Structure formats: C-alpha cells, structure tokens
Chains A and B, each alone.
Chain A
Amino acid sequence: MKVLKIDLSKYRYEIEDRRDLFEEWIGGTGVAVQLLKEEMDLNADPLSEENVIVFAVGPFTPAYPLASKTVAMFKSPLTGNLGESHAGGRTAVAIANAGYGAIVIKGKSKKPVYIVVHNDKVYFRDARVIWGIADSLIVGRIIAEREKGRGIRTVMRIGGGGCNLVRYACVTTETYRHFGRLGLGAVFGSKNLMALVVIGRGSRKVPDRRKYKDVYEKIMKLALESGAMKKYHLLGTAVNVLPLNEIRSLPTKNLRSTVFEKAEEISGEALAEHNLGRRIACSHCPIACVHIAALRIPYETEPYFYKTIMISYDYELIYALGSMLGIGSREGLLRLIHKVEIYGLDAMSTGVCLAWATEALERGLISEKETLVKLSFGDVDGYMKAIDYIVKQPNEFYKVLAQGVEKASDVYGGKEFALAFGKNEMPGYHVGHATHIGYLIGLRHSHLDNAGYSLDQKLKEIPPPNEIVDKLVKEEEWRQVLSSLVVCFFARGVYKPEIVAEAFDALGYETSEEELKLKGEKIYREKLKLKIKMGFDPDSLRLPKRIFETECFQGKLSEEYIREALRYWKERYVLPLV
C-alpha cells in the first residue's frame, strides 16, 4: 500500500511504499493514528502550518461493498485535541483506485490553491479566483467543470465556513457528504487549501476468484436481505425522530425538553411523504441512504417564478437545526439545512451554538447588540441571519461563536446550558447515562464512537457505572476495526467479526476473529495515547448541568453516576497509558 505525502509549503510530493503500516494497523483509523504520530509536532497550533491532515482508506476498498468511508485525522481547531472525521461519497474509492492507502497533507500554501491528485501525479492549481466563494456547492461545480475524471473522482472542498476559519467548518464532498465535526474545514482554510480533488482509475488482481466471489455475494445478500440495513434503506436515519421523541430523548430547545410538540411535522415519515425527491448512494453501496428533499421556493417578488433546491437530510440535522432550535416547519428546517450546507458548516455544532445563543439572549447574558438579530426558538429567519453572521463574523460575539459553544460560554457565561462534551457540541440524543458517558469518553466525543444512546435503550436495569464503561469501550474497540477497514458504521450489522475474517481470507490475508478483536484494542489504545500526548486530560471533562435537569428516557440522570464512570474509565483505561 502506498502513501502519498503532499507538502503545501514547498509544492512537492512523494510516494512511499508503506505496506508495513497497513499490515500492522489495517488502514483507516489505525493507519491514520500512526501517520499523524510520524508526521506531526503534537504541540502544533491546529490552525498553523504545522498541522497535518491524513486521509486513509482500507484494504476492503474497493474490493467489497459498504467499505467506502475515508478517515480524516488532524488536530482539531475546535477542541485543540485529536480530530477525526469520516466521510463517504466517492472519496475512499477514488483514493484507492488512484493507488493509495493514505494521503498526507502538510504545510501551508502561500496563496489559495486546490490540489488535484490524478493517479500517480499531483497538480497544484491556482485558487485565488475562487477563494472566498461562500457556497461550497458552487466551488464544487466550478472545479468539477475545470477538471477531468468525471465519475471516478472526488471533489473535497470547503465553502465560506472553512475559508473564514469557523472552527466547526466541514469539508464537503460529492455535494452531500461531509467530513463534519471537529473542524477539518478550518484546517483546510488555514492552509489556503480550497479543495482536494482525487481522480482514481486503477485496479488490482483478485487473488482467488471463486473465494472472492462467494464472500462478495454473501456481503451483498446480508446487506440487502438480512434486515441488517433496513432502517437506512427505508426512511434513512430520519426514522429516529419519532421514536426518540416518544421515549423522551429528543433534545429540544437547547435541551430544556426532550419532547418536541412538532416532532411529527419534521419526522422522517413526514419528510418522506411530502419532500423526499431523490435518493443517492456513496460509491459501492447498494443501500443509497442519502435522502434528498426537493424544496420549491417562490421568488420573493415575482409571481409564478420558483426555484427548486435539493437538500440532503439526516437525523442529526433534523435534531440540531430542528428540535434543538424549536423549528417545527419542514420548510424552515430545510432552509436552515441548506444554509449550513452551502457554507460547509457542521450542522450539529451550528445548531447547538445557536441554541445556546438563544437561551443566553433570553437570560440577558448577551443582548441584541451582540447577536445583531433577535434569536428565539422557532424563528427561522433569525437563525438564517445568524448563520450568515457566524460565517462573516461582523462583530466580536460572532468571532467567538465561530469558535464553538465551549469558547462562547467561557466568554459570555451560561456554561450550565452550553451543550458540549470534550468541547465538541452535543449530538442528538439525551437517552440516559451511557449516552453522555459515551460522548465524554468516546475518543472523538461522538455518539458514533461507542453508541451509548443505543446501549441506554437496551438496558433492562441500570448496572454499576464501571460495567457501562467496559461495554462502551468494548464497542469502541470493535468500531476501531470497522473504521480501520473504513466500513460504514451503518453496515456494522453486516460486517460482523466472522464476515470480516472471511473477507480478509478471500483477499489472501490470514486473520481470525480473535486477532481482529486484539487489533481493535490495540488501535483504541494507540488513539487514546495520541490524544493524551496532544494534551487530553480526562479530569478536564465538563458536565453541562442541563443534562441533569432535563428528564430523559432514564428519568433524571445522576451526576455522581457519571462522575464515577469517568473515574473508573480514567483508572482502568487512561492511567495505564500515561
């Protein structure tokens, strides 16, 4: 497996054979941790030339379906600690077909550029003319029309959010997929890097055609017929809205409630019935979970003129820009999603920041002098303007809000209702103790690290905190294997350990379920070690008071329980590595 290293400071690149890394660390997350360790000064300022970005794919790309995620690893400008973000689209397949297991981007360009990787060649293109175009969809279109490789490429780009260094800006790819969370877009922006295009045409020999075909067919069958991916195949992730609302777990109006009176209106069912206009898929995925709404909007002043925009929706966006902001109209919700999409912002962080600002304004911690516009739950127009301000940062308040809710509450107060965990804004679940322990100890502070929200729903009774922690870590360790294989987490029900071992075997690599599990543990430890070296301190984790005030599926949560869990986690998993 080859690694492409690009230095933006010197406009140079080199290609190295690093099969050693892939043999030991699989690919994706496992390999990215090692490359970051090798390439980066861990004390670097995340928005400086010294930050390093790693994109890594895995040995199943593109051999099998549903292994089309790319893992990005970098230092996060939002948390100042390890940043990791996964995206699908055509990213992974393009990188693998171009001949690489990973791409490393270092340094900083003197002027705006975008990079084109076409198989074994790298081109640096002048991006001065397109720098500052706020709409990431237009940036994508301009680059797509200028460059070759239609159908076999990925165009990973930033919009206004990344250019203006919003610390929760994302990198958008294939219009609707994102390296969200933790601010990769701002890292691109800080390097004067508008986009990374990868064009990949290539292939490798199948070692054993019969064996390979058998495993391939088995995976396809499991994906399409076993029910393991049914949820994503039907309503998509938006199916979560109503059940979570029903069990009092849908964060609403800055988590002052977990039941949203208008949940029905913005549910997956309602969106499918009234707005769903198209489905698309990531490369090599038969599920096509990307649900796209068609929204018809009249021109403001001319009758009988309409524009129709296509807007991708998912559960997390509905939570962050819907219930969390008290938005109960589908049209309003879709307009907000589109706004965030255009700028290339992380939807969850944006929604949580705005929800905090709304409550801070209500409580008089800030005034309209700061917010420039009246913010109130349910008012779409106010939020539309505020999102413009987050990107344009016309005053000190928005400069601060563009650094995340942790920073904003440091400056303006309201910590008790600033919903961030490990400085990363909260995902859309307030189910029980495991949910929040999961956010806190998850190495990305993401709900997907260990699925605490799902564990809470399965528990018959609440066990001692250490048992929860062990379960969450065990889940996270296995997910390190999946994200090293760059298998989509939505396909976790397909890629069980025995299937993964079989799939390896058909490609000519011997392994066992046991060995895979051990690798998961090892990668988890390596990642945690890297996090600690970057300054992570479990004692600094803040618990927002709000989560103990608002009832959820498990009723009122106990702070002592969560603190005990954190103590145990530190003792059992963190300290042995220090």
Chain B
Amino acid sequence: MPKRLVIKDIEKCVGCGLCMFACSRRHGEIGNDYSGILPVSLSGFERGATVIFCRACIEPPCAQVCPTNALTPKEGGGVVYREELCIGCKNCINACTIGAIFERRNGKPALCVHCGYCVNYCPHGVLGYEEVEA
C-alpha cells in the first residue's frame, strides 16, 4: 500500500509552518519557495489555522491539464512531477480545486510528493504519514 501524508487532527494546527520550512529544506533550500504545503489562518488567526497540501487524487486534474506531461498520474493516486519537462504554464495551479499547487519564483510549481519528511517537524500531531488503500 502507498504511504501518504495525512491529516491526523486539523483542529490542532497552530499555524507555525514548521512543515512548510521542512519541505523546502528537503530540497536543500532555506525558505518556502520549494514548499508543497502551506500553513494558513482561517480568515484571521482568531478562527484558527490549517494546512493545505495535495490530496493525492486518483484522477488528478492537474495532470489532465499539463500540456507537456511534466505532471503524470501516479499509480495509487497523486502525481509524478518531472521538472525538466515543465514550461511553467501554471495550468496545474489553476486546475487544483483546493489550491494545493504553489507557484515558485521561477514560475514552476511546488507540490507535495508525499515523502512524509514534514511529519517529523509537526510539533502538535496535526500531520501523519501512513499507508493508505490505493
């Protein structure tokens, strides 16, 4: 069974963004440009916080609109991203219903590939990394 980044309890999110920084560090970068996960407040922190990342769709709309096959559906859900094929058209960013594909400074997408690295840095048990049924 494939392993996925999952939400254990979204209500526990404090909006610290440690997941976002972990994601860019995984790419050898300090900052957020390469991050495929985004911590947001719910229209202001008075209503709490949440994180946005790829749901690993079985039929990913982002891959359907990719003109160069830089994004292709992965077996069991989600996508495989081949940056060298990407022309930065941003179709995928517009196609994702939950806004989980982010635009990097160079115009190309940043997205979660479900590696689970960020889970090690979530201090409050919001995120988990688990086997799921494909």
Contact = CB atoms under 8 A, between A and B. Distances in A.
Decide if A and B are genuine partners.
yes
Contact of B29 (A203, A278, A310): A203
Interface stretch (B44-52, B64-72, B88-96): B44-52
Interface string A276-311: 001111111110101010000000000000000110
B30 interface: yes
B37 to A, nearest CB: 10
Interface string B1-33: 000000000000011111011001100111111
A140 B14 contact: no
Interface string A213-224: 100100010001
Given A201-B104, A203-B24, A144 B30 contact: no
B28 A206 contact: yes
B30 A203 contact: yes
B56 interface: no
A174 interface: yes
A137 interface: yes
A151 B38 contact: yes
A280 B44 CA distance: 11
Contacts of A146: none
A209 interface: yes
B58 to A, nearest CB: 26
Contacts of A204: 29-31
Contacts of A351: none
- Chain B interface size range: 35 or more
A402 interface: no
A324 B47 CA distance: 30
A205 B16 CA distance: 22
Interface string A477-497: 000000000000000000000
Interface string A499-540: 000000000000000000000000000000000000000000
A402 B105 CA distance: 45
A284 B30 contact: no
Interface string A127-140: 00000000001001
A288 B21 contact: no
A281 B103 CA distance: 25
Contact of A283 (B17, B43, B47, B52): B17
Contacts of A285: 16
B31 A151 contact: no
A310 B17 CA distance: 21
Given A97-B31, A202-B31, A175 B24 contact: no
A141 B43 contact: yes
A338 to B, nearest CB: 11
A200 B121 CA distance: 22
Contacts of B124: 288
Contacts of B33: 97, 201-203
Contacts of A137: 44, 46
25 contacts: A96-B31, A141-B43, A144-B43, A144-B44, A151-B20, A151-B41, A151-B52, A152-B32, A174-B41, A201-B103, A203-B24, A203-B30, A203-B34, A205-B30, A206-B29, A206-B30, A213-B25, A224-B123, A279-B14, A280-B15, A280-B49, A283-B17, A284-B17, A286-B123, A288-B16
